[in-house]
Amino acid sequence: IVLQDVYYIKTHSKDYTSAGGINLKKYYMMAKFVSEEFVRCKASKCSFDRNDVIINYIITSPIFNEDSLMLASFECEQAETPNERNKLLVIQYL
């Protein structure tokens, strides 16, 4: 439901003002809506018991940057286009 609401704000509000500037009101509404949903979700009670093993896994799991995710993707699926091959060469030698 949250995604539908944000999508509605995005598609039914203009990107630019009549003066040609960026419609900051639109982006403020989207950010406000998402942040309010996070606060509401964080404040709600869970219907299941806390599992410390899972929480520990989430906290200690490595965080991948864009290049490491791209490299992992190329390990699953070969680079097909020249652009993809060039990107693979660049990230392999970082």
Do residues 38 and 68 share a domain? no
Do residues 34 and 67 share a domain? no
Do residues 37 and 7 share a domain? yes
CA dihedral for 31, 33, 6, 73, sign (positive or negative)? positive
Position 77 scores a pLDDT of 92
How far is it, in rounded angstroms, from Cα 23 to Cα 28?
9
Domain range for 10 is 2-43
Number of domains in the chain: 2
How far is it, in rounded angstroms, from Cα 20 to Cα 22?
7
Position 64 scores a pLDDT of 86
Q: What is the pLDDT of residues 12-36, one digit of tens each?
A: 889 999 999 999 999 999 999 999 9
Q: What is the pLDDT of residues 40-51, one digit of tens each?
A: 888 888 888 889
pTM reported for the whole predicted model:
0.46
